[in-house]
Amino acid sequence: MKIDLLSSPLPRVVGVVSDETTWRALQPTDADLVELRVDALPADRRTLPLRELCPLPLLVTFRHRSEGGQCEVPEEERVAVVRSLLPAVVAMDWELAQAGHAGDLLKEAHERGVSVIGSYHDFVGTPTRELLSDLEKRAVACGADVLKVAFTPHTEQDLNSALEWLRANHHLPVALMGMGALASQSRDLFSRNGSVLLYGYLGNSPTAPGQWSASRCLSWRRDTCGT
């Protein structure tokens, strides 16, 4: 049965794990769900005993270095690894730019009841509203359940432009977040205005510039939303 990735309370707090030590110390109260960054693990540890070790609903992500990941592997290998992990997860993340090469994987994910997050990352600047709308169309076309966009705002205008787009009507749920110097401000702003996922790191190291810790995300939601 498909587990609702976006059940209440919102935004859902995603705890990001990028090392095995943190993975083995997970607690049920660490987040609403946990993202395992497979690209951060050594090649011989990419098939951890997921069901036995994870006390939380699991989101799996395997990014190439060009997408902000920590390794370079052939596309076929990434697809194969993520496919092997599908029986143990409730959601998977795949970069929209590579969705055309992973059609069978995305189809299998849906057949298994695994939610698909179609993602886009800009480590330099802010996408235009036209590009954001195009990304949404691409996410819908590939069957994504959620569109995730992480970008690098430099000014208040960048934040406000993205906020205007976020507040518009959408064809699927959107998770929007900034990286860099305005990351903290963006997470507060977008989460207050409908962004459905709030990512925070577990362990000692952020996995994106300016990322909050998962505990801070939970505290923010409790203090801001009362949940």
Instruction: From the candidates 64, 148, 170, 171, give the one annotated as an active-site residue.
Output: 148
Taking the C-alpha atoms of residue 159 and residue 196, their distance in angstroms, rounded to an integer, is: 17
Q: Is the dihedral of CA 91, 95, 97, 99 positive or negative?
A: negative
CA proximity to 30, closest of 205, 227, 155, 203? 203
Taking the C-alpha atoms of residue 153 and residue 165, their distance in angstroms, rounded to an integer, is: 14
Q: Which residues of 147-169 are buried (b: 16+ CB within 10 A; e: fewer)?
A: bbbbbbbeeeebbebbbebbeee
- The per-residue DSSP string of 24-65 comes to HT--TTS-SEEEEEGGGS-GGGTT--HHHH--S-EEEE--BG
Taking the C-alpha atoms of residue 18 and residue 38, their distance in angstroms, rounded to an integer, is: 7
Is 121 noted as a catalytic residue in this protein? yes
Instruction: From the candidates 107, 110, 121, 137, give the one annotated as an active-site residue.
Output: 121
Catalytic positions, written as ranges = 121, 148
